[in-house]
Amino acid sequence: MPRTIILGDVHGCLDELKALLEHVGFAAGDRLVSVGDTVVRGPQPTKTLDLLMTLGARAVRGNHEDRLLRWRASRKGPSPMVIGAMTKATAKRLRKRHWQWLRSLPLWLDLPEHGVRVVHAGLVPGIPIHRQLPRTLLYVRCLGRHDEPIESRDRELWGERYHGPPHVVFGHNALPDPQIHPWATGIDTGAVYGGRLTAMVLWPGERPPPPTKRASVLVSVPAKRAYV
């Protein structure tokens, strides 16, 4: 039976992506979904995107895809956006087909069969998804005293205050282990930093289980090395 496989932040780590797909036995009919940050920082951005595109993967826009797209758009104006060396290195390698795919990425994806919403970084509880600020969806990590989005890790994680439905699966905030919240799961486990590449694997109609059993739908593979 076909499954839904939701990937954590790949960051151009092609070997780890291939290892994870092999580990879960990815097969024809399986649906592949990415939480974004598919490229930048890792060693093989173009081959990573080519593989995702070949497999028919869907993805949400991460902050790194967004930065690439904003930089490219800014080149048409009088003041091109300044980007870092790693982002620039990736931009130089991307081809037309890659840019087209990146432009197609939405800020969120709903998977009603699983009761799941995929975003890159997170959201502010209590605000409808279509009213969330794009910056929040791309960068939030924590919440302030009044639920204001905070991009650093110095406050309470946003997932602790979020009460669904839907269940939100996200990336961005790289930590050694998945973030397990009652109504949210963070699956960026720092593959590009030498950690692990993690995915949530759901069978048809399956929904993320309670926190005490959440590990049963999570799989990961170790990074070959730290790339940054």
pLDDT of residue 26: 98
| 15 neighbors 41 (Cβ within 8 angstroms) | no
All residue ranges of the chain with pLDDT < 70 are none
pLDDT of residue 143: 97
Domains and CATH numbers, the chain: 4-119+173-222 (3.60.21.10)
Q: What are phi and psi of 59, to 5 degrees?
A: -155, 155
Long-range contacts of the stretch 160-167 (C-beta < 8 A, 24+): 161/125, 162/122, 162/123, 162/125, 163/125, 164/115, 165/115, 166/110, 166/115, 166/116, 166/117, 167/114, 167/115, 167/116, 167/117, 167/207, 167/208
pLDDT of residue 12: 98
For 118-157, how does the pLDDT look when each residue is reduced to its tens digit (9 = 90+)? 999 999 999 999 999 999 999 999 999 999 999 998 889 9
- Could you tell me the pTM of the whole model? 0.97
